[in-house]
Amino acid sequence: MDHYIVGKIVDQIHDVLWSKLSLKHLTFPDHKRFLYTTVKFQERWNYLNVIGCIDGKHILFKCTTKAGSLFYNYKHFFSVVLQDVADSESRLIFIDIGAFGK
C-alpha cells in the first residue's frame, strides 16, 4: 500500500510541476528557433545545418520483481534510458526518460 501512495504523490507533484513550468522552460520549437539554433551551431562549433545534439544515458536501478529481461542492458545491469537533445549552448530542448534498458 505504501508504494501506491508514494506513486500517487509523485504523479500529483509531476502534474503540478509540468503545468506550472513547462511553458516557461520547455517551449515548443518553431521554424524561427530552428534557424536561430543552426546559426548558433555554425558560429560556435562550426557545424553546418545542425539543430540539436542527441545523447543518451543508462540510469542504473534495482530490478523490480517480474520485470524479466526488459530492463537488462548490454552493459549487464538493469537500467532505464534517458535520452535528450541539446542546442548549441548545451541547453536541453528535448528529454525522454523511461525506455527499457535493452
pLDDT in tens, the chain (102 residues): 455 676 677 778 878 877 887 777 667 778 998 899 999 999 999 999 999 999 988 888 777 777 677 778 888 888 888 889 998 988 888 888 777 765
> pLDDT value at position 43?
95
Which phi and psi (to 5°) does residue 11 adopt? -60, -45
Distance from C-alpha of 4 to C-alpha of 21, rounded to nearest angstrom = 26
The domain of 45 spans 2-100
Q: Which three cell numbers stand for residue 76?
A: 549487464
Provide the domain count of the chain. 1
> pLDDT value at position 61?
78
